[in-house]
Amino acid sequence: MEWRCILQTVDFKRIWTKPNPKHNVPTKWNWVVSYPENLQLGKYVDIGAFTYLQAQKRIVISDNVEIGSHCSIYSVNTIDGTSGIVFIMEGAQIGSHSTILPGVTIGKNSKVGAHSLVNKNVLDNTIVVGVPAKKIGENSHV
C-alpha cells in the first residue's frame, strides 16, 4: 500500500505542468479562477474539478497542496463584505466541497475535512472539520 502511494506521487510529479488559467474560463481540469493574475501557484498543486478560486485580493497556494473537487476559495466575499489574502501552505489538503473565506491561512501539512467552512486560520499539522471548521486532531503523517 505504502509503495503504491509513493509510485502515485512520483507519477503525478512527472506529469505535472504549471497551469496557465484564464479569467473565469474552466481549465482543462475543470476548475475556474477569477483574476488569475492574483493567483500564486506552487509546484505540484492538485486542484479538483469544479473548484472555484476568487483571487481578486490574492490567493497564494504553496507546493504540494491538494484541493478536492467542488471547493470554493474566496479572497473577496460579497455576502459579508469581507476580503483578504488566502494562504494555503505547503502540503495542506482541502477535502472536497469545502469553503475557505477571505484572510484565512491554512497551515503547512494541515487537513480540512470534506464539506467544511473555514473562517479562521488553521495552524500547521492540524486536522479541522465542520461548519465552521474546528480542530479534531493533528496530522502525524508528516
Ligand X SMILES: CC(C)(COP(=O)(O)OP(=O)(O)OC[C@H]1O[C@@H](n2cnc3c(N)ncnc32)[C@H](O)[C@@H]1OP(=O)(O)O)[C@@H](O)C(=O)NCCC(=O)NCCS
| Distance in Å, CB of 94 to ligand X, minimum | 8
Q: Give the Cα separation of 75 and 73 in Å (integer).
A: 7
Query: Would you say 19 or 130 has its CB closer to ligand X?
Result: 130
Query: Would you say 11 or 37 has its CB closer to ligand X?
Result: 11
Q: What angle do CA 83, 63, 21 make, to 5 degrees?
A: 60
Q: Give the Cα separation of 72 and 22 in Å (integer).
A: 17
Residue 58 makes contact with ligand X by CB under 6 A = no
Q: Which positions from 75 through 134 interact with ligand X, judged by CB under 6 A?
A: 95-96, 111, 113-115, 127, 129-130
User: What is the Cβ-side half-sphere exposure of residue 33, based on CA atoms within 13 angstroms?
Assistant: 24
Q: Give the Cα separation of 107 and 91 in Å (integer).
A: 9
Query: Would you say 37 or 49 has its CB closer to ligand X?
Result: 49
| Distance in Å, CB of 98 to ligand X, minimum | 8
The amino acid at 55: A
Query: Would you say 45 or 76 has its CB closer to ligand X?
Result: 45
Residue 136 makes contact with ligand X by CB under 6 A = yes
CA-atom Rg of the chain in angstroms: 14
Residues that bind ligand X (CB under 6 A): 68, 95-96, 111, 113-115, 127, 129-130, 136-137
